[in-house]
Amino acid sequence: MRPVAVVGAVAATVLAGMTAPAQAAENYGEYSRFAERSAGQHWADGQAAGQWTWKPLSSTTSEISWGDPKSWPPDYAEKFVRGGDWLLLDGWRDNGTYYILRVTKEQIGDAKCGNLRTFATSGRQHYVKWDIPPQGYCLKAWGTITEQSSGKVVDFGHTQIWSPPAPCSNRYLSHQTCIKQWESWWDNNGSPGKPIVRKLERDQYIARGKGMAFMIQQYFPKEWKSEARSYWNW
């Protein structure tokens, strides 16, 4: 017969396992408010520098518009689709047409863009993991953007580093939790055979329960910073 003390210890271990399930991971939707008619303004130099709104199109698809709040709504809107474990970028509309983005190669690696492995060679861009992992990760994508109205093709490269949740504050809002996206965007502006060149490099902080652009620190093409001042639903 097994000693009572051992039986009791085993029972306690089993009960602990039953009553303390693993905590579910947070997801990108909780931070970005992708599935809500959500909006926000970010400010720089004492005035509104930009505005964004999410417009859900279905349970898995949403468009985000970025623009000047003084001339709202803008023509520009990016279309994202949730697919499995990922949020995917399909393309964007602007200037009365749609721009279809498709990758030719995608890689994923650690938070320093080391240990890269190729995981896709076609389809929409894997923009961000839906469930937020406890460690950072790097995404690299190369592909084409096709202007539907003309057939013009642009070659692009996009590198992102996503960092896990951490405390964040800006001059208007304190004691928040943010995930950070560092990104570098490259393209050749539709010049066939020309190399892609860097067009943008920046950090963006996305606050849990509030949304996009909690803080934007741009490094290229010029130093610039903006901070979220207000969020709302529409």
**What SS3 class is residue 135?**
coil
In DSSP terms, which residues pair with 203 in a beta bridge?
182, 217
Name the CA dihedral angle for 125, 183, 212, 174, rounded to a multiple of 10 degrees: 150
**Tens digit of pLDDT at every position of the chain (234 positions):** 344 343 444 344 344 455 555 567 899 999 999 999 999 999 999 999 999 999 999 999 999 999 999 999 999 999 999 999 999 999 999 999 999 999 999 999 999 999 999 999 999 999 999 999 999 999 999 999 999 999 999 999 999 999 999 999 999 999 999 999 999 999 999 787 899 999 999 999 999 999 999 999 999 999 999 999 999 999
Residues in contact with 188: Cβ distance below 8 Å, sequence separation at least 6, in sequence order: 154, 155, 156, 194, 195, 196, 197
Residues in contact with 10: Cβ distance below 8 Å, sequence separation at least 6, in sequence order: none
In DSSP terms, which residues pair with 43 in a beta bridge?
48, 227
This prediction has a pTM of 0.89
Answer yes or no: are the C-beta atoms of 81 and 28 closer than 8 Å.
no
Domain ranges of the chain: 30-233
Residues 82 and 226: their CA atoms lie apart, in Å, by 28
Residues 78 and 63: their CA atoms lie apart, in Å, by 5
Q: Which tokens in the block code for residue 88?
A: 């995917």
Q: Any idea which residue has 């639903």 for tokens?
A: 233
Residues 98 and 149: their CA atoms lie apart, in Å, by 7
Long-range interactions of 90-94: CB distance < 8 A, separation 24+:
90/124, 91/145
Identify the helix (H) or strand (E) that includes residue 4: helix 4-19
